[in-house]
Amino acid sequence: MPKVRRQNVPPALFQHLLDRIQSRKIPATQLELLAKWLDTEPDVPEGQWYKRFSGMTVCGEGELIKTFLLTGQAAKGERVS
């Protein structure tokens, strides 16, 4: 199983993630929770996956985080812990 890539994220994807953080007003506290989770070097599936936090959902595919959703927005793929 892949690990979430934290370096060398494609520039267009990185900009998309920054745009989603800003447009969806993701609070810094949620990003701190994400950082702590990433520090554990979690395994994620090859295909689509998502990780729920108290105030957002992180969606990814394989080693890449693809977007951030607000609580209540539907996520696709396998839920990871």
| Tally of domains in the chain | 1
Q: Which residues form the domain of 36?
A: 11-79
Given pLDDT bands bounded at 50, 70 and 90, which one contains residue 53? very high
Residue 28 domain flag: yes
Cβ contacts of 48 within 8 Å, gap of 6 or more: 59, 60, 61, 76, 77, 78
Whole-number mean pLDDT of the chain?
97
Please give the average per-residue pLDDT across 53-68, as a whole number: 98
Q: Extract the tokens encoding 40.
A: 């554990």
Please give the average per-residue pLDDT across 14-33, as a whole number: 97
Given pLDDT bands bounded at 50, 70 and 90, which one contains residue 21? very high
- Is it the case that residue 1 has pLDDT exceeding 90? no
Residue 2 domain flag: no
Structural contact between residues 58 and 34, judged by C-beta atoms closer than 8 angstroms: yes
Q: What is the pLDDT of residue 3?
A: 96
Structural contact between residues 6 and 38, judged by C-beta atoms closer than 8 angstroms: yes
